[in-house]
Amino acid sequence: MEIITRMMDGSISYDPEGRLEPVTSGPGAKQEDKIERLKEVPIFEGCSQKQLRSVAKITRVFDVVAGTVLARAGEPGDEFFLIIDGTARVEVSTEKRVLLRPGEFFGEMSILDGGPRSATVVADTPVRLLVISRRHFSMLLKDVPGLTQTLLVTLSNRVRQAEGRAERLGSASTGL
């Protein structure tokens, strides 16, 4: 089970052996503080105060240290992640790494199709994340105007990049 899932369901504490920073905006966080944070995230720009309040109810904020594995290729995934601070590294293949920056998200593929994680994602620096569980994801899509379109555009880019890479690998192996 992914570390964030275990943090969310309480089966591990937030700070096991000092690997994870205390959660500054976790379960006890003030709703208003969370709303102020959400306002800084580009995909929530178009949200009204009411919509932000709904989003705040279904999101958790986690701080993780560099090196934390946030998603592991091949494992089931039940959360969608949005980076607020720091960078995360998507290990797409042994040769290919993609850096995700604040405002970018990951974990949407397993949430959308129910399949296993397509890549391993690791915190490249200390990272602050917004985490939304599968059961709340459809509420997020409803509450955030334009999010469905942003997801589709991002997925299209990821498919294009993957196909480009497969083509380059094919040409390299055939020498054409």
What residue ranges bind ligand CMP (CB under 6 A)? 71, 77, 90, 92, 98, 106-110, 117-119, 121, 158, 161-162
Comparing CA positions, the residue from 133, 18, 137, 128 lying closest to residue 62 is: 128
State which residue, 52 or 119, has the beta carbon closest to ligand CMP.
119
Residue 145's Cβ-count burial label (10 Å; 0-12, 13-18, 19+) is: middle
Residue 75's Cβ-count burial label (10 Å; 0-12, 13-18, 19+) is: middle
d(CA 54, CA 162): 35
CB of 167 to ligand CMP, least distance (A): 14
CB of 33 to ligand CMP, least distance (A): 27
d(CA 43, CA 76): 26
Q: Is 28 within 8 Å of 41 (Cβ atoms)?
A: no
State which residue, 51 or 120, has the beta carbon closest to ligand CMP.
120
State which residue, 43 or 109, has the beta carbon closest to ligand CMP.
109
State which residue, 35 or 73, has the beta carbon closest to ligand CMP.
73
CB of 91 to ligand CMP, least distance (A): 9
C-alpha dihedral over 93, 99, 103, 106, to 10 degrees? 20
Question: Where do the DSSP E strands lie in 86-153?
Answer: 88-91, 97-100, 105-106, 120-123, 127-133
CB of 62 to ligand CMP, least distance (A): 16
State which residue, 52 or 109, has the beta carbon closest to ligand CMP.
109
CB of 116 to ligand CMP, least distance (A): 7
